[in-house]
Every structure is written in C-alpha cells, then in structure tokens.
Amino acid sequence: MEETVASDIRVYGADWCGMTRRVRVYLMNARFDYDYCDVDREDEARRFVAALNDGHQRFPVVVVEHEVVIQPTIAALQRAIAEHGLEPAIRTVRPLATHA
C-alpha cells in the first residue's frame, strides 16, 4: 500500500476569492507543490479558517510547514517559504514528438 505524503504548503481558501487565486497561481508558476483545501467544499477546512480568524472567513490561509500566514502578500508568502528552506518541485518534461 502506497502512503500519500501531504505537501509542506497548504492553502485554505475559496475558488471565488481573488487573493486565493493569486496565491495559487504564484505557487503553481513557481513550481511549489501544495495542497488546496476549498472551504466551500470541506467542512473541516471551513472550521479551521474560522478558528484562526475569530469565527470569520478570511482567505487565503496558508500553512507553510507549521507556520500559519493569513491573507499573505506574495512577498510575505515568499519569505515564509524561504524561512522554511522549501524548494520548488523538480519536474521533468518529456520532449515533444517531432514530425518528419
């Protein structure tokens, strides 16, 4: 049985939230693996965000290893990632087939 390892970065947010989308686009473009928890679809994620924000839904909440960053700017997110020494995922790209 293969065990799934959670990412060192988790983003809690909503698909309709512009700040959540911005953080997710940054992480994707910078090639960081992350887990996304949609508060509109996951009750546990909604409760987690509310518990951190005095019952309010403020997005995104990003957890970098064990550090919680609420509504981070990209610069604040970059600092948190750098402080934890996280590196982008290395992905190999297969060469495109050439047609003669």
Which residues 6+ apart lie within 8 Å of 19 measured at CB? 13, 59, 60, 71
User: Does pTM top 0.75 for this prediction?
Assistant: yes
Burial 8-17 (b: 16+ CB within 10 A, else e): bbbbbbbeeb
Residue that wins the pLDDT comparison between 65 and 100: 65
- The string of pLDDT tens digits covering residues 51-78 is 999 999 899 999 999 999 999 999 999 9
- The domain segmentation of the chain, as residue ranges, is 9-83
Determine the Cα–Cα distance for residues 96 and 30; give it in Å rounded to an integer. 22
Residue 1 has pLDDT above 60, yes or no: no
- Residue 10 in contact with residue 34, Cβ under 8 Å? yes
Name 90's Cβ contacts closer than 8 Å, sequence gap at least 6.
none
Select 9-83's CATH number: 3.40.30.10, 2.60.40.10, 1.10.260.40, 2.160.20.60.
3.40.30.10
